[in-house]
Amino acid sequence: MAMVCLTDFEEYAKEHLSKATWDYYAAGADECCTRDDNLLAYKRIRLRPRVLRDVSVSDTRTTVQGTEMSFPVGIAPTAFHCLAWQEGEIATARATEALNTCYITSTYSTCSVEEIVAAAPNGYRWFQLYMYRDRKLSEQLVHRVEALGYKALVFTVDVPYTGKRRNDIRNQFRLPPHLKVKNFEGVFQETSVPEEYGIPANTLDPSVSWKDIYWLQSITHLPIIVKGILTKEDAELAVEHGVQGIIVSNHGGRQLDGGPASIDALVEIVDVVAGRIEIYVDGGIRTGSDVLKALALGAKCVFIGRPAVWGLAYKGEEGVREVLQILNDEFRLSMALAGQSDIQALVTKTEAAKIH
């Protein structure tokens, strides 16, 4: 069967992954209202197409933190890629390198950051970071990825505790014995403490606060991108604390159920930031027209999570490349049909209108 759209990859992955693995990737928190609204919110947005604008030549290139990408779609940090495909994050990194876009490597990778860099040495990569009770764990990761040439830290701020993902609890989800959270290999001693997603429970620090931005700045020269902001108040605080970017994100609906869809939160954040730093968004992007809507509403770039995993489940590196290529082709077509030939023209919200 020809893979025509991202839904085709989703259906393939659901059919071919084990139930526990599928449930882990598909999980939202509690009743999954926010997870589902991430998708529905894009369907509520309508584009205002312009005509007779000469769209015979289009340009989808953009820059993110000063680095050129071939199109404004990157891979969001998603854990445990080896559950979907044997090569896991190595395959993902190679795919993004081939298409010249950004891959945000998860702390919870089943390949180490060293293995990922060795497999795709010319790729454009950021590293996603959590804050741990033992700050040395976070500091060691920062120094490792900085030495390896990662270009930014993506500080994930919406997980003081892990959201309640009901199916993971029902399935008693655990990594199979042959897989590990490779970035922590050899770090934790054998213990009777129960595991939570591959590392000892209660390792994350719920006391994390804005002062930890300053701490991160004191130990690294890398740009700091804050991921998990959903309100204008926190966006303003992020700017005041000197970060270089914001990813508007609700963690794929996996944390607080009942919060806003990411795309719905984007508008107020773009308004308050007013161009002082770059704004990105993830959650619910499934088509090229979704990408166009996000950029028209002020995002510099979008990131996809689950669709990358579906691509892995289909054909590894080739599958991720196909997912990205489909989005790029759809985005290019949507731009043309909306009367836009250049991303730089998408500078105001007047090209999109929200239907409430």
Please give the positions annotated as active site: 251
Please name every residue paired with 266 in a beta bridge, in sequence order, or none if there are none: none
Q: Is 71 exposed, middle or buried (0-12, 13-18, 19+ CB in 10 A)?
A: buried
Contact between 204 and 162 (Cβ < 8 Å): yes
CB–CB of 36/253 below 8 Å? yes
Residue with tokens 């590293």: 127
The secondary structure of residue 82, as a DSSP letter, is G
Backbone φ, ψ for residue 275 (5° rounding): 80, 5
When computed from its CA atoms, the radius of gyration of the chain, rounded to whole angstroms, is: 19
Strands 73-75 and 301-304, how do they pair? parallel
Q: Which residues contact 118 (CB under 8 A, 6 or more apart)?
A: none
Cα gap 305→294, rounded to integer Å: 16
CB atoms within 10 A of CB 351: 20
State how far the Cα of 287 lies from the Cα of 268, in Å rounded to an integer.
23
Q: How many CB atoms lie within 10 A of CB 349?
A: 15
Helix (H, G, I), strand (E, B) or coil at 323: helix
Q: CA dist 282 to 111, 186, 301, Å?
A: 23, 32, 9
